[in-house]
Chains A and B, each alone.
Chain A
Amino acid sequence: MIDALILTILMTSVPLILAATGELVVERSGVLNLGLEGMMLMGAVSAFALTYASGSLIVGLLAGIVAGCLTAAIFGFFVLGLATNQVATGLALTIFGTGLSGLIGSDFVGKAIKGLPTLFPESFSNIPLIGVFFALDAIAYLSILIVFLVWIILFKSKYGLILRASGISHNSAHSLGYKVLNVRWCAVLFGGMMAGLAGAYLPLMLTPHWSEGMTSGRGWIALALVVFASWMPSRIIYGAILFGAITIMQLAGQARGWTIPPQFLSSLPYVATIIVLVLISSRGSAKYLAPSDLTRPFIASK
């Protein structure tokens, strides 16, 4: 019974890990993309539509990634190309993605597909104690690998240094000769791909059908998660599992007749994020602060 609960917690946290890791890279480069929810929905609807049409989950996953990337490109065009306000553009992207995904998906409501299989044979999951960690699908393992790679690239490579420099002081990075806009473009597109993959995970794995607005605020939780993780990749995994555990335990608590109000438990991820924000600013350690040029448009001086 505990195994099944842990498995549910892990699966719930996968889309959060994916979306938050993408957003972390975007924010590290100095761009805040509040359009996560919209990009996830575009990824979700494209993944479902193409899986349904082609019968292939691989095609569906790729479609989700491409759709997220294209949606992010719209955001990039305005924010990086035209230097518009990032907060307003991001919010607009969420509204746009919600609406367009609903329009595209209207023909696919009420259709069912077969979801992703688990990566390992079913007998593996019967191993006592650790069996549950073999009961996941390929994307779940991939998400951990991606977090690890992002950490390596961000903190152990030259490219990561350039990306972080663009986020901390784009003028300094620019005067050193780095193309800040190009760096940010790469980050924004990567963020879109990750959001698209996170979105695709919902209709392909968690609930194998499409319905309008099916992310139901998970994009916003992922945004909170980036802050909760204080822009450090590894903490996204802990944070996502913690957020997932809170969600699942409040459901499990109810099933067992505990009397904690579920509304209170539902609000815990946001409360935890605010507490982390307070801790960050009171300690004043620059290592855990938001990139200082976050949300500031970069316009190259000539």
Chain B
Amino acid sequence: MKNNRFIIFAGLIAIVAIVYYFATNVEQLDDEDKTMKVAFVYLTNPGDHGWTYAHEVGRLQVQEHFGDKVETSYVENVPEGPDATRVIRELAQNGNDMIFTTSFGYMEPTLKVAKEFPDIKFDHITGYMRAENMATGNIRFYEGRFVQGVVAGLTTKSNKIGYVAAFPIPEVIQGINSFAQGLRSVNKNATISVVWANTWYDPVKEGDAAKVLIAEGADVLAQHTDSPSMLQTAEKAGVHGFGQSSDMHDFAPSAQLFASVNNWGPYYIAQIEKAMDGSWTTGEGPDHWAGNTWKGLSDDFLVLTDFKNMPASVAKAAQEARDGIADGSINIFSGPMMDNEGNQILASGEVLDDGGLWAMNYYVEGVIGKIPN
């Protein structure tokens, strides 16, 4: 009996193996046609009206731009970690030519799978690790926050700005400091109080943080977390704020001054075009946070929604700040620049390079408090 069972078991395994072999082979035959297959890996549901939604808009732009020449697909709700490795590997096995992984936490899973599939092009968003077939892309999110700072400085009456932030990582600190530079360029008396929510996403806590900041006297709020609750709270309390990642006008029609919107479409289209004509590279030099593509307002990677709920003079100042950053006449982090403890960071005439941006572990003048460890 035992022997019989063993034979049946071995037979089953053999059948599964044969079927699997043919199934994968059939798929390999499929991609001999000329359509390029591009896959996207999403952290959440694309309907989140935040981070993933912006990527989905980019994917749709790709589909519209290339038509039949490119076939796109996506996998949503992929947790960062071992699950991501499995999903990315599956996409690679299913004959995709190019795979975009759209969250920082996919960095190591992407690298791992990239090494297993040297013929497939991988493109990781917001990371710093690269391989011969793995490129990185990022947006200069902080540029939009400078413009927010300018508008906040001209809008505030209490001279107190509230800032709801997720985690003290370089990207978020860049944003706070950039905001402060914009704020102080127009209003030297205004200060920023930062509240760390210690989460990217907890609507109730984000709302609570906003309520607390308003109770402490803030009349303009900014956020570096993902839900619209801060703006809803601002709307209810009759103060102003800025939208995050996507236009949140519907949540706060009279509170949202404007939103910085991540615009991934141009990046995706450029990368796919390069992959088609053979000019796609992963860049030179050491691994670097900036990746091989790090662009902002100048290349429309970051776009600002219409300036609303502010006088024309403020909207004009905002537009000038935006255009100044885009054409390079405004350098956000240029000397003289002090941290908020009075130490000089940049002497007059100096500017911060990309390496310096990713090494920020201080608040600039105008921000209250210390960065938590």
Contacts and interface: CB of A to CB of B under 8 A. Distances in A.
A263 B229 CA distance: 21
A110 B226 CA distance: 12
Interface in A174-228: 202, 206-209, 211-216, 218
Interface in B174-228: 193-199, 201-209, 211-218, 227-228
Contacts of A216: 199, 201-205
B33 interface: no
Given A1-B216, A216-B202, A252-B215, A257 B207 contact: no
B215 A212 contact: no
A261 interface: yes
Nearest to B207: A207
B251 interface: yes
Given A112-B251, A209-B203, A12 B208 contact: yes
A109 B45 contact: yes
Contacts of B228: 112, 207, 209
Interface in B48-88: 48-49
B118 interface: no
B372 interface: yes
- What class of interface size applies to chain A in its complex with B? 35 or more
A214 B198 contact: no
A216 B212 CA distance: 19
B44 interface: yes
A295 interface: no
Given A214-B204, A216-B203, A207 B232 contact: yes
Contacts of B372: 261-263
A247 interface: yes
Nearest to B251: A112
A253 to B, nearest CB: 9
A248 B369 CA distance: 18
Contacts of B217: 1
A207 B198 contact: no
Q: Please indicate which of the listed interface residues A2, A102, A254 has the most CB atoms of chain B within 10 Å of its own CB.
A: A254
A8 B47 CA distance: 29
A5 B215 contact: yes
A255 B215 CA distance: 10
A255 B216 contact: yes
B279 interface: no
Contact of B212 (A102, A211, A255, A259): A255
Nearest to B164: A251
B373 interface: yes
A266 interface: yes
A266 B198 CA distance: 9
Given A102-B45, A109-B49, A257-B193, A207 B216 contact: no
B206 to A, nearest CB: 8
A110 to B, nearest CB: 4
Contacts of A12: 204, 208
A54 interface: no
A36 to B, nearest CB: 15
B370 A211 contact: no
Contacts of B206: 207
B106 to A, nearest CB: 19
B13 interface: no
Q: Which one of B204, B229, B233 has the greatest number of beta carbons of chain A within 10 Å?
A: B204
Given A109-B47, A262-B372, A207 B204 contact: yes
B250 A254 contact: no
Interface string B361-373: 0000000111011
Interface of B: 44-45, 47-49, 162, 193-199, 201-209, 211-218, 227-229, 232-233, 236, 250-251, 368-370, 372-373
User: Which are the 7 A-B pairs with shortest beta-carbon distances?
Assistant: A4-B215, A257-B369, A207-B229, A216-B202, A110-B49, A109-B47, A207-B203
26 contacts: A4-B215, A5-B215, A8-B211, A109-B48, A115-B236, A202-B203, A202-B204, A206-B207, A207-B207, A207-B228, A207-B232, A208-B232, A209-B232, A214-B203, A215-B204, A216-B204, A218-B204, A247-B205, A251-B208, A255-B162, A255-B193, A255-B212, A255-B213, A255-B216, A255-B218, A257-B370
Interface of A: 1-2, 4-5, 8, 12, 102, 106-107, 109-112, 115, 202, 206-209, 211-216, 218, 247-248, 251-252, 254-257, 259, 261-263, 266
